[in-house]
Structure 1
Amino acid sequence: MTVTHGTLAAGGGQLGARTLRTAVVGAGFMGWVHAESARRAGGRVVGVTSGKPGKAADAVAAAAAAVGADRGYPDLESMLADAAIDVLHVCTPNSSHAEIAGKALAAGVHVVCEKPLATDVADAATLVTAAAGAGRVAAVPFVYRFHPMVREMRARLAAGQAGIVSTVIGGYLQDWLAGSADRDWRVDPALGGPSRAFADIGSHWCDLFEFVSGDRIARLSAQTVVVRDRGGSGESNEDLATVQFATASGVVGVLVVSQVAAGRKNRLHLEVSGTDASFGFDQEDPERLWVGAREGNRVLMRDPDTLSPGAARYTRLPAGHAQGYQDCFDAFVADTHSAIRGEDLVDGLPTFADGLRAVRITDAVLRSAASGGAWTEVPA
């Protein structure tokens, strides 16, 4: 996907090379990650609010310190009115994404919104329409697209090196909610939404597969499981999901998503198998791309001197100097800033349309699981 954008600033003027003024809603870990990437892209973090209105002055100051913002604000409205924001990053609990992103777009601000874009399809579709109507850049951080070796896989698949692609397997495994005492706002459907594990990390895997393959998941059969009833009420969203699927081109696949897989910290792995070659990527070993062939296998290292141009563009360090998650996030935000300025032809920037796509797939997973795994169409 190639995306081009115009050069209007939040206030309607030309941006040129002016430093983009960034604000963040949400002062937790993800808020810090977004803010740090904005600074590394040359932006200035001018404001932050926790997303919970009516915060006391000390809490507002603590939020500013947490993300390194110039100033903290008690609520979104005061920050939008005062901070002269170019781009707003939404890093709050899932159920609040649609409302906050919608207010920012209505104020003429470019938006980066954490996934899931919304907790239901209708709200996500409304945001896509709002972004288009406002003429704003609206992006979702599916940042694993920005690993150089993911770009290398994409280039090789696009060149037909796999031959006839027949199957895809993979998963996204974490263990941070494996313990009986593990708690987080995400387990509460009122905050995290009706899906947790799949909406949170399964969406990343599906986006990555569709991005590298250029194919689309057309129908699926899913199961979801609650392993730990942390609230004691049976109202928790799922800890894990398994999905069988078929794509528009006839490829079949299997995906396992879990946040209760002991020992797996953040393992997103994807393997695409073809008649001539197979390709495997593992986010816990992101410097390498496995290439399988009938006559023998090999491992490609991230080396800017040997990668395809699309992959080399995202290689920030010499070979042997490891790049990782923050580097991906930095590249995503840098491309977002480039799109806002209209400086470059940005290839593969994940937009609100991609966020809507992920919400549609999640909705299909939930509908299939609720019907006992019945095969369910994913709207194109």
Structure 2
Amino acid sequence: MPKNLYVRAGIYWARFKVRGVEYRESLRTRSERVAVKRLALLREQVEDESVFGVAGPVSWADAVVSWSQRISTAVGAQTYTRYLCSLRQVRGHFDQLSVQQISADILKDLIKARRRAGVKNATIRRDLTAVSSVLDNAADEGWISDNPAVGLNRRRIVPERTERIVLPQDASIAMVFPRLVPRVRDLCEFTRETGLRLDEVTGLRHASIDRNERTITVEKGKGDKLRVVPLTKIAEAIIDRQPRYIGKPWVFWKDKGQRLTEVSSRLGDLTRRVAQKAAREEVEFHRFSHHDFRHLFAVEYLRSGRGSIYDLQGELGHSTITVTERYLAFLTPDQAKSAKSVMAQRGAHSPRFEAANA
């Protein structure tokens, strides 16, 4: 088979790269001799456009392939995975377009379509970030003069909604936990004790736990950042309750040692059923999610004087103190004053944390 040719369903196709972009196109012939001639003409046309600085139409799919080859080593694994997830969601809007056809109006149409589909604003902004990254690469390759996503005021077009903080109430927790799978219940308790995010807990490996130094190393936090948090007695006891699956690294696992998944959906389904039953019986119940235990950790941390607001920022892995300061609203004036000091009143531990470190 001659170079840069392959056969699909008996038809010859061209496949070659110019300036990092892979081109695939049907040569519409079953004859190898004709295919070789058409390949030469097609490649000459593409290379001429590239040399003279006038890019021919570059499909969105080809632009994503080129972007992927460059970006995969430039960002962390989690960021790259999030980008790919967003690009899969929007491909239906762009697959029939070339990058030259994508304008600010096209992007605004995408935003409207995603809103009609019930997609949250935060997700739409993530989608736009991924699309903008591809268009940045297209501009670098010379296929477009400017990135149309840069001119969009994303905060105005897709306003950011502040996450409402919900603290799980003990009475509501008591109505749910007895009916929850033990391992999922332990996972929620672990988040309440350590403040780790869901993917940080489900991705926790035994090798990341140092019992001598009393630390837990979060190897891939948000933004692929590494951080170290304390290993309390309660957190250690929760870990010890998990049977270890030989040959597998995960602390929280399922089936044959695979990483535990579907925690949010399990907890969400159960709290919904409990809420329905409570409504029928006219019993007070407040729904909560797994992430709300991270909020509870933060508030209990500050109320107990375990550390300052700056210490809490480090343990939660927040990039800015502004995000952490939301928890000050749940404190008394004296507690807030103490939390904002560089050295919080570490002696005023709550019974929970006294027991944790006894």
Tell me the TM-score normalised to structure 1 length: 0.24
Higher helix share: 2
Q: Which has the larger radius of gyration?
A: 2
Higher strand share: 1
